[in-house]
């Protein structure tokens, strides 16, 4: 069930979506806005389910970018 708009995850969220994840197909990425109020989708071509192991640079870059962004207190 999709949460109501005011019940969606409000924290800015970056989703690294691998191309070859057998659990979460890329086609599901278009539903992120139904669950997150502020989500950024970053596709990872050629990557499988274990993003930190298969795409460590992209994983580290996403963490670095999130930590560098100013965020308002919740």
- 6-63, pLDDT tens digit by residue? 999 999 999 999 999 999 999 999 999 999 999 999 999 999 999 999 999 999 999 9
Q: What is the pTM of this model?
A: 0.81
pLDDT at 20: 96
Does residue 72 surpass a pLDDT of 80? no
Q: What confidence score (pLDDT) does residue 68 get?
A: 92
Which residues, 6 or more positions from 55, have their beta carbon under 8 angstroms from its beta carbon?
16, 18, 44, 47
Tell me the C-alpha to C-alpha distance, in Å, between residue 35 and each of 9, 25, 28.
6, 17, 12
Looking at residue 1, what is its pLDDT? 86
The full set of domain ranges for the chain reads 5-68
């Amino acid at each position: 069930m999709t949460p109501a708009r005011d019940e969606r995850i409000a924290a800015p969220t970056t989703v690294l979506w691998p191309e070859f994840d057998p659990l979460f197909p890329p086609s599901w990425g278009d539903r992120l806005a139904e669950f997150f109020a502020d989500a950024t989708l970053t596709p990872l071509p050629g990557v499988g389910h274990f993003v930190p192991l298969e795409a460590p640079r992209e994983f580290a870059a996403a963490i670095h970018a999130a930590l560098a962004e100013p965020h308002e207190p919740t």
